[in-house]
Structure 1
Amino acid sequence: MATTGINVSPEQVEANKCKESIPEPCIVVIFGASGDLTKRKLLPALYHLEQANLLPENFAVVGVARRDLSATFAPDMKDGILKGGGVDEKEEKLGKFIDRVKYFATEFDNDEGFEKLKAYLADLDKQFGTKGNRLFYLAVAPEFFADITHRLGNHGMTGEDGDHWVRVIIEKPFGTDLESAKKLNSEINQVLKEDQIFRIDHYLGKETVQNILVFRFGNGIFEPIWNRNYIDHIQITAAESIGIEGRGPFYEAAGALRDVLQNHVMEVLSFVAMEPPDVFESAPVRIEKLKVWKAISPIPVENTARGQYGPGNVDGEDVKGYRQEDRVSPESQTETFAAMKLEIDNWRWAGVPFYIRAGKRLKTRVTEVVITFKRPPLHIFQGSGAGAEQLEPNVLTLRIQPDDGIKLKFGAKIPGPTTNIAQVNMNFSYAEAFGKSSANGYERLLLDAMLGDGTLFAEREGVETTWALMTPILEAWKAQKKDFPNYDAGSWGPKEADELLERDGRAWQA
C-alpha cells in the first residue's frame, strides 16, 4: 500500500503554533463546571494553550456550579488535566496554572448569588490584572441558557465598552426544532449582541474538519474538479459503536437527527460544499456556509431513513438494545440512526446527491467524508485483461476520526505482461505526519472565542436555516409510528438506509 511522504519538520510544526495571536487578559467563567465536560475537555484544552504560550499572562478560570466544591475543584481539574491532557505532573507551568483555577458556588436562579459572583470576579480582576474581560461558557443543560444569560445581563455582567469585552459560549443543542431555536435566539439577543454570542460545535474544533478548507482551497489541483462535472456523489458518515452511555433521558428527548445530523454533519457538509470565501475570516466564511444551507432543496420524507438498534454484538461483546437501556421507554420511538439524501440547487452541485448518516451502536466508530468521482467517459482498457472491465471510480476519503487522515483510491496496472488493473490507496496520516496529539479540539475554539473570532462558530441565521430543513422531517417522523428496533447493534443500520442509495444505483462506502 502506497503512503504519502511528509515534508515537515518538528520546528515547522512548533513555529506554526506560535503564529496565532495571544488574547487580551481575561477570566474564563464556566457555568456547570461540576460536569464532565469541564474536567475532561475544557481545562485540559486551556492548559494545552498555556503549554503553547497562547494564553495571556494575566488570566484566570472560575468554575461555577450549584454544589460547594471550593476545596476540591482545583485538585479535581488538575487530575483531569493529568489524565486527559497527556500532561506530566512535573511540568513547571502546571502549578502556576492551577493556582489561577478558582470556584464559586451559586444556584443558577439565585440573584443574590449572581451579585456576589460579580463582586468576586471584580476582586479577581484586581488580583490577576484581567481588566474586566470575560468569556462565559455555558456548559449547562439547555433550559438554563436563557435564564443564566438574562441574570448576567440583569446584574451588569454583559455590557461592553472600549475598555473591556464580554463573550458567551453556548453549548449545543441550540434549540430542538425551528420554533424553539428562534425563541432561544430571541431571548439571548435581548441581552447580548450577535457578535458576543459563540454557539459552539466541537466538531469544528477538530483539525481534520478545519483541514477540509485547507485541502480544497490551499491546493491548486483539487478545486478545479470539486464540482458536478467530475463528482458523482458525496457521502458523510458519523458512526459510533457505543450506545447512549447512561444518558437515557437526554437521548429520549434528542435522537440521532437532533444530536448529530442537524449540527455536526451539516457543519461538515457546508465545508465540503461551500464556495471559496474572499478571505478566511468570520463574516465571509459564514456567508458561504449559509449559502450552502439555503440552497438545499426541501427534503422529502421518502428521502430519509431512521432506525433504532436492538440487541447485537459490538467488537465481540453482546450488547442490549436501545429499549433495554437505563431510563429508556420500552416502547420508545426515538431514532438512534438517521440518514437522508440531500440535493444542493446551485451551479456547482446541481445533480450531485449528498448522502448523510449518523447512528449509535454501528459496526465501527468512524466519521468521514467520501467523495466518489465519475468514471472515465471511455473505458479504453475494456477486454485487455482480467479486472479491466470492472474499472472502479476514484474515491477520495477525508477521515475525521479515528485514524485522522486522507485516502485517495485510484486504479493502477498490476506488474506483468498483461494489462490487469487493481485499485490502490494513497494514504496521508495525521499521526504519522505530525505525531500523536493530546489536543481534544476545544483548544482552537476556546482561543478563537477569547480572540473574538467567530469563524468556527454557528451564527443565528445558520442555526435557524438548518432547523428549517430538519423540522419538517421530525414532524413527519413523529406522525408515523415506526416498527422499532429495525437494526442489530453492530450492523451498519437499517435496510432503509441502504435502499436510499440502492435505488440510485449506489452503495454506502462502509
Structure 2
Amino acid sequence: MSEQNMAQGAAPAESTLVLEAALTPPDSGSSAWDNPLRDPRDRRLPRIAGPSGLVIFGVTGDLSRKKLMPAVYDLANRGLLPPGFSLVGFARRDWADQDFAQVVHDAVREHARTPFREEVWQQLVEGMRFIPGDFDDDTAFKQLKSAVDELDASRGTSGNYAFYLSVPPKFFPKVVQQLKKHGLADAPEGSWRRAVIEKPFGHDLASARELNRIVHEVFEPDQVFRIDHYLGKETVQNILALRFANQMYEPIWNRSFVDHVQITMAEDIGIGGRAGYYDGIGAARDVIQNHLLQLMALTAMEEPIAFDAGSLVTEKMKVLKSVKLPEDLGAHTVRGQYAAAWQGGEKVRGYLQEEGIDPASTTDTYAAIKLEVDNRRWAGVPFYLRTGKRLGRRVTEIAVVFQRAPHSPFDTTATEELGQNAIVIRVQPDEGMTVRFGSKVPGTSMEIRDVTMDFAYGESFTESSPEAYERLILDVLLGDANLFPRTEEVEESWRILDPIEEYWATHGKPAQYASGSWGPGEADEMLARDGRSWRRP
C-alpha cells in the first residue's frame, strides 16, 4: 500500500486482510477454514473443523482404542479440532464419564502419534461423555440424546455430530434405526449429522445393496461416509500427485509401455483373536473387494477434471465398470490358507489350528486374482491383485512393470541380470516410491544390472505423515467426501468379486502354504502361465 493511500486511511488490500486473518487465531466458536476472507484454495492455513462432536459406537473395541481415540487426540494436538470438540462413547460397559476418560487416556498414551500434552488433554477431557447400553436399549439412546443436547449447550457443538459405527455390520441397521427413532439423525436447522461406517460393506452384492437401502432410509447419501482407511494414507493420495502433477510418468502410463501391474497387500501376522470376524469372510472379501480394487482404480483411472469427490468417483467408476474377469477362473484365481511352520524364529499355528476356527473351514487367508481393464488405455494389460496373512513380510505396494526395450544393441551376456523397468509405490510400511532401471556396472566390460532410485517420505519431509484415521476423521467433520467410497463403488466392487467367490465355493478347498512364505505354489503357477512372476518385496 502506498504512503499516500495510508495517509488517506484507505482500506488495506484484500491480500493484506487475508494475511492478517491467517495470523489471527480463531476464537472458540470459529474455524480458520470458515473465515470469509480466506480462499479455501489457500493451503497456507490448515483445514480446521468447526464446532462439532463425535459419537463412537463400539468404543471399547480394538479399532477405537488403537486408532480412533488416538487420532482424535492427535488432531486436537495439531490444533485441527475446535476448542469445544466433544467425544461421546457408547458401549455395553458399566462406566461413568471418568472411567471412559481413563480408557481414552490410556489409549492415547499408548498409541498416539504426537507427544502427550497435558493442556490439550484437559481441554479434550472436558468434552467427554459415556453412555452405557445395548443397541436395542431405548433408555440408553434417550440418554445419548440428552448428552448431545447438554454438550450443545455447554461446549458449543452447534448440533453438529458424526456417528461412528465401529461395530460389526450386523448391527448397522439397528443403530441407524435407533438414531432415527430418537431424533439423533435429524440435524437442527443450520447443523449437520453424518454417519461413518466401517468395512465390510456387506458380504456380497445383494447384502451390500440391502445395507445401503437401510442406511439411506435414515441418512441421505451425502451424509454417509464409508471408511476405507487405505484411502487416507499419504502414499495412496500421492498416486494422483505422481501421475497428474508430473509430465514424466503419464505419457508412459498405458498399454503401449506397461507390461502388467501388481498390487500387493501382505501381512506377516495371522488372524490373532479375530476368528469370530474373519472366518467366513476371508482375505478376498476383507481386502480385495475394498482396499485393492480402490488402489487399482486410482492406478488405472483417467485424470479427473478436479480433485473433488464427484470427479474422483466418476473416473474410478469408469475403471471398475471396465474390469473384465478372466474366462478361466480356475487358472487365473487362487485362494489359500496358511499352514503351521517356523516364522520369525518361532513355530506358529496354521489357520485351521487357530482358536475358534472350524477345522473344516474353507475360508481363504490368501487370495490372488487376475483382472483386466477393458478400455483403450489398458486393453491387454493384466492387473494382478494379491493379499494374504502369514506371508514373508508386511508390505503394501503397487508395482507398475514396464515392457522390455523393443531392441537391444547389447550382447545377451551383458543384460542377463537386467530385469524389467518398474515404478513401485510403497504404501506401507516404508512409505515412498522406487524407480527400477538398468545401469552399467563400473568396470571395463559392458555389464548392465538393475539399480533403483528411491523417494522416501521420512527423508524428504520433516513432518511425519499423519495416520490415515486422522485425515479421515477430520474430513468427516469438514464434510469432505473425496476419500470415501460411494455407494456405487461398493456395489461395483462386489459385482467384480462375487463370481470369483461363487466359483471358489464350488471348486475344492484352499491350497495350503507355509507360514512365512509368499503364498501357495499355485499362485506362482498362475503368473508363470502368462510368462511372468510375482515380485518378492
Where 2:280 maps in the other structure, the secondary structure is: helix
Separation in structure 2 between the aligned mates of residue 325 and residue 115 of structure 1, nearest angstrom: 41
Q: Tell me which amino acid in the other structure corresponds to 2:224.
A: I
8 Å contact kept, 2:341–2:349? yes
Residue 212 (structure 2) aligned to one of 171, 181, 185: 185
The alignment status of 1:405 with 2:411, answered yes or no, reads no
1:16-415 alignment to 2 at 5 Å? 19-70=45-96, 71-160=98-187, 162-300=189-327, 301-302=329-330, 303-382=332-411, 386-415=413-442
Whole-Å separation in 1 of the counterparts to 2:416 and 2:353? 49
Which residue of structure 2 lines up, in the alignment, with residue 475 of structure 1?
502
Match for 2:526 among 471, 490, 500?
A: 500
State TM-score, norm by structure 1: 0.93
Hey, what's the Cα distance between the residues in 2 that align with 1:210 and 1:250? 29
Q: Verify the 8 A CA contact 1:372 1:393 in the aligned structure 2.
A: yes
Q: How far apart are the structure 2 equivalents of 1:52 and 1:220?
A: 34
Cα pair distance change 1:390/1:455, threshold 3 Å: same
Cα distance in 2 for residues equivalent to 1:88 and 1:340: 42
CA contact (8 A) 2:77 2:117 kept: no
Following superposition, the deviation at residue 464 of structure 1 comes to 0.5
In 1, the alpha carbon distance for the partners of 2:280 and 2:68 equals: 25
**CA distance in structure 2 between the aligned counterparts of 1:439 and 1:245, rounded to whole angstroms:** 26
- CA contact 1:67–1:105 (8 Å) conserved in 2: yes
- Residue pair 2:511, 2:520 contacting (<8 A) in 1 also: no
Report the alpha carbon displacement of residue 162 of structure 1 after superposing the two structures with TM.
Answer: 4.3
CA contact (8 A) 2:84 2:127 kept: no
Is 325-334 or 161-170 further displaced after alignment?
A: 161-170
**Over aligned residue pairs, what C-alpha RMSD do you find?**
1.6
Residues 335 and 511 in structure 2, CA contact (< 8 A), matched pair in contact too: no
Aligned identity (percent) is: 46
The alpha carbon displacement at 1:99 in A equals 2.3
Moved over 6 A (4+): none
Rounded to whole Å, the distance in 1 between the matches of 2:82 and 2:405 is 55
CA contact (8 A) 1:81 1:87 kept: no
Q: What's the CA shift for 1:195? A: 0.1
For 1:287, what is the secondary structure of its paired residue? helix
Shift of 1:214: 1.0
What amino acid is the match of 1:26?
A: S
| Higher RCO (CA < 8 A, seq sep 6+) | 1
For 2:68, the aligned partner's letter is L
Taking the aligned partners of 1:90 and 1:51, their CA distance within structure 2 comes to 8
Kept in 1, the 8 Å contact 2:333–2:367? The answer is yes
Which residue identity is paired with 2:67?
K
The alpha-carbon deviation at position 90 of structure 1 amounts to 4.3
- The CA deviation string for residues 395-430 of structure 1, in whole angstroms up to 9 with x for no partner, is 111111111111111111122233221211101111
SS in 1 for 2:503: helix
1:10 maps to none
Single out whichever of 280-289 and 294-303 deviates more from structure 2. Answer: 294-303
- Tell me, in whole angstroms, the C-alpha distance in 1 between the residues paired with 2:78 and 2:114: 13
Query: Which digits, 9 at most, give the CA deviation of each residue in 1:145-170, with x for residues without a partner?
Result: 11111111121111245410011100
- Does the 8 Å contact 1:230/1:374 carry over to 2? yes
**Aligned equivalents of 2:72, 2:417: Cα separation in 1:** 52
| The 10-residue stretch of structure 1 (291-300 or 236-245) with the greater mean CA deviation from structure 2 | 291-300
The more displaced of 344-353 and 32-41 is 32-41
Alpha-carbon separation, structure 1, partners of 2:113 and 2:296: 31
What do the CA deviations read for 1:52-83 (whole angstroms, capped 9, x no partner)?
Answer: 22112231111111212223111111111111
CA distance in 2, matches of 1:101, 1:269: 40
- Cα distance per residue 1:454-498 (max 9 Å; x no partner): 11111111100000111111111111231x551111111111111
In the superposition, relative to structure 1, how do residues 140 and 17 fare at CA in structure 2: closer, same or farther (>3 Å)?
A: farther
Match of 1:423 among 432, 446, 450: 450
TM-score, with length taken from structure 2: 0.89
Q: Secondary structure at the match of 1:253?
A: coil
Aligned to 1:8: none
Alpha carbons 2:415, 2:447 under 8 Å: kept:
yes
Which of these residues, 474, 491, 494, is aligned with residue 464 of structure 1? 491
Q: State which drifts further: 61-70 or 121-130.
A: 61-70
After superposition, give the CA deviation of every residue in 1:332-366 in whole Å (9 maximum; x if it has no partner). 11111000000000111101000000001111111
Q: Secondary structure at the match of 1:219?
A: coil
How far apart are residue 104 of structure 1 and its match? Answer: 1.3
Aligned to 1:444: 471
**SS of structure 1 residue aligned to 2:265:** strand
Does structure 1 conserve the Cα–Cα contact (< 8 Å) formed by 2:293 and 2:493? yes
Q: Does structure 1 conserve the Cα–Cα contact (< 8 Å) formed by 2:434 and 2:454?
A: yes
Question: Is contact 2:397-2:424 (8 Å) kept?
Answer: yes
Instruction: Say whether the 8 Å CA contact 1:381–1:389 is kept in structure 2.
Output: no
Note if contact 1:29-1:136 (Cα within 8 Å) is conserved in structure 2.
yes
Alignment partners' CA distance in 2, 1:90 and 1:120? 27
Structure 2: distance between partners of 1:364 and 1:137: 32
Distance in 2 separating the partners of 1:174 and 1:432? 37
Amino acid of the residue matched to residue 492 of structure 1? W
